[in-house]
A and B are shown apart, each in its own frame.
Chain A
Amino acid sequence: MTSGRSVLVIAAGILGIVVLGAVVVLLAEGREPQSYEPGTPEAAMQAYLAAWDNDDPSAAYDVLSNSIKATVSREDYIAQSGAFGAVDSNRATFIDRVEGDETEVTVFLTVEEYYGDGLGESYSSQRTVRMVHEDGWKIDEPLVGLEPAAFPAFPDQQ
C-alpha cells in the first residue's frame, strides 16, 4: 500500500482508537474506590480527602489532630483553604500502604496529577502523611488538602 492511499486507512485506524478509548474510559467510569474498615487510618485519610473533594474544609478540619487544631481555629483553617484556592482538581490519590503501631502511623500515598493540554503532562509522586490515634485516627501534620499549610505547626510557635 502506498503512502498516499494509506492516509485514509490511518485516519480510520486513529478514529477507531479514539472511539475504543472513549468507550473503555466511559464504561470503566463506574468502578468504585476501595472501601476501608471504619476506624482505620486509611478510612480516616479517605474521609479527609473526600472532605476536600466535596469542598468542605470544615469536615477536613475535623480529621486533624488536637495538636494541629491547637495551632489554627476552624475559621482560620477555612479561610486558609480559601487563600490556597482550594485543592488542585486535577489530582487522583492512591493510598499505597500504612506503617506504624497502634498510636502513630505513616500513610504512604501516590498522588497522580494531570495538567494536560494535548502535550501529555502528567506525573506521579509519592508522599507520606503522619497520623496519630486520638478519638480515632487524625492527621498530625499542618495540611490544607495535601499541601503543607502556613499556620504554625506547633502551639509554642503561636
Chain B
Amino acid sequence: MQTVRRLYLYLMSGISLGVLLVGLNILLTVVLHALGIGRGELLGGSESDRQALSLAAALIVVGLLVWSVHWLLVERSLRRDNPQRDAERGAGERALYFTLVLAVLLVIGVLAGTQLVEELTSRLFAVPRQDEFFSTDLGASLATVVVTGSAWAYHVAIRQRDLGAGPLTGAGAWMPRVYLYGAALAGLVLTALNVSTLLSTGVLALSGRVPDIDLGDVRERQAAVAIAGIITWAIVWLGHWWYATRLTRGTGWRAESERRARLRVAYFVAAIGSMALATGIFAFMALFGALTKALGAPESFAPQDAVEAIAVPLVSLLPWAGAWWLHREWLFVEAREAKDPARMATAERLNAAVVALIGLAALAGGLAGLLGLLLDALLGGNRTLGDFWKGELAGYLAAATIGIVFWLWNWLSLQARRGAAPREEADSTVRRAYLLIVVGTTVIASLGSLAFVLYRLFASILNVDIVQNAASALSAPLGALIVAAGVAVYHGLALRRDQALRADAASAEPTEPAAPEAAADSAGAPAPARRLLVLTGPSSTDLDATVEAIRAALPPELSLEDSPPED
C-alpha cells in the first residue's frame, strides 16, 4: 500500500515539477529578453512575448499547485514525529525519484551552460557562434541554467538532509549513487572527448593542410566549442568525483558505505573500459593511417595528409590514455588503502579482464579478416584483385596489432595470477565471468559464421547461389569461423581447467578439516555437527551479554564458541 502511495506521490511530483520548471523557464527567458540579454526586446513588445507570458503563467499556476500539494504530502511523511519516517527516507521510490530528477536537471542545465560558455569562447576566437539554422538564444540558455540549477540545488539539499538523518541501506543508498557515479562517468567521457577534439584541432591548425576555402572558420569554431565542452563537462566530472571521493575520506557510516560501494568499483571499471576502448580506437586509426600509406591503399581509406591520418589520432588518444592510467591507479590505490588482499586481487583482476576483453575483440576481428583475405587468395577468390584489399589488409593488421597488445598484456597478467595461486584464481568470479563472456560470444559468432558457410554451400549444391565467386563469398565467414572457434576452444579449455581445479578442491575439502579430528578421536566417533553464526548489531550493543544469554538458553548437548571479530 505504501509502495503504491509513494509511486503516485513521486510520479506526480516529478511530472508537476517538470511543468513548473518549464513555466519558470519561459517566464525568466522573457524577463531576460526584456533586460536585453539574448534577443533584447522590450517586455511585452511583441505578441509572441505576450503569448509566452500567458503560457508561462498557466504552466506555473498548474505546476506549482499540483507539485506543492504532492510534495507537501511527501514532506509530511518525513516529519520527526512520524514513526515511518526512516522507511520513507530510505524508500526505493524516493531514491529513484531523486536519481532521475537530479540526472535530468543536470543534463539540461549543463547543455544550456555549455551554450553560454560557447558564447564566450566564440567571442575569444571571433567566430559567429552558430550558423543561421542553429541560432541560439542566450536569454533562454541563461534562464535554463538558473531554473534547472536552482531545482537541482534544492533536490541535492533535500538528499543531504536525508543522508544526515541517519544511515541508509538498500535502494535508498545505492540508487542515488547511480546518479553520482553516472554523472561523473558522463562528465569524464565528454571531458576527454572535448580535450581530444581541442588537441587534434590544435595539431591541424598548426601543421595540417590549410583549407582552400574555409566557410566559417572551422578550426576556430571547433576550438571554441571544444573549450566550452571541456569547461562544463570537466566541472561535472571533477565536481561529482571530488564529492564522492571526499565522502570516502571521511568517517562515519557514509564514509564506510561509500568505501565499500560496488558502484564505486563499477565506476572505475566503466571508466577504465571506456578510456581503454577509446585509446584503442585512436591507436587503431593512427596505425591504420600509417599502414594504408605504407601499403599504397586507395585514398578513400584514410586522409591523404599524413598529419590528419597519423598525427591527429595519435594526439587524440592522449587524454583517453591519461584518464585510463589515472583511473587504473586510483582503483589500485583505494584497494591498497583498504588493506584487504581480496579487494586488491579483485581490483587487479577487474582491470586486466576488462582491457583483455577489448583487446581480444580487436584481435579476433583483425585475425578473422586477415585469415579471410588469405583464404580468398589461396582459394582463387577475387577480393585480392585491384587495390581495395590493401585498405582491408591495413585495417585488419591494425586491429590485430592493437588487439594483441591489449589482450596479451592483460591476459598474461591474469594467467600469472593463476600460476601463483591456481585455486584462488579458479574460484574468482571475475576470471570466470571473463572466460564465460569470451566463450559465449565466440560460440555465438562461430555458429553464425558456420550457418552462413553452410547456407552458401547448400545454395551452391542446389544451384541457387547467385554469387559470382564462391571462394570470395566464403572466405570472410570461413575466416571468422576458424578464429571464433579457435578462441572459443582456447578459452573453453581454460574454463575447464579452472572447473576441474574447483572440483578437486571441493572433493578434498571435507577430508582436510576432518583429518586432525580423526587422529585425535581414537574411538572413531563421528565428527560433531557445526554451524558458524555471525552476530551483528549497533556499536552500542553489549554483544558479550547477548552471547551469554544465547549460551544460557542452549540445551545441554549444544555448545557455543565465541571469538573476537576479524578486523
Contact = CB atoms under 8 A, between A and B. Distances in A.
B221 A7 contact: no
A21 B226 CA distance: 10
Interface in B213-232: 213-223, 225-232
Q: Is the interface of A mostly helix, strand, loop or mixed?
A: mixed
Given A7-B238, A118-B228, A25 B213 contact: no
B334 A17 contact: no
Identify which of A90, A93, A115 gathers the most chain B CB atoms within 10 Å of its CB. A90
Contacts of A122: 197, 222
B212 A49 contact: yes
Contacts, number: 168
Contact of A53 (B194, B215, B241, B330): B215
Contact of B227 (A4, A21, A110): A21
A153 B202 CA distance: 42
Given A32-B210, A88-B215, A14 B195 contact: yes
Interface stretch (B10-18, B242-250, B554-562): B242-250
Interface string B318-340: 01000000100010011000000
Contact of B218 (A33, A96, A112): A112
A115 B197 CA distance: 13
Interface in A107-129: 110, 112, 114-120, 122, 124, 126
A118 B209 contact: no
A14 B300 contact: no
Contacts of A126: 299-300
Contacts of B455: none
B206 interface: yes
B234 to A, nearest CB: 5
A122 B200 CA distance: 12
Interface string B41-82: 000000000000000000000000000000000000000000
Interface of B: 111, 114-115, 118, 121, 124-125, 128, 131-134, 190-191, 193-199, 201-202, 205-206, 209-223, 225-234, 238, 241-242, 245-246, 248-249, 299-300, 303-304, 319, 326, 330, 333-334
Interface of A: 2-4, 6-7, 10-11, 14, 17-18, 20-22, 24-26, 28-29, 31-34, 42, 45-46, 49-50, 52-53, 85-96, 110, 112, 114-120, 122, 124, 126
Pairs of residues from A and B, 6 with the lowest C-beta to C-beta distance, nearest first: A118-B229, A92-B211, A89-B216, A49-B213, A116-B225, A28-B205
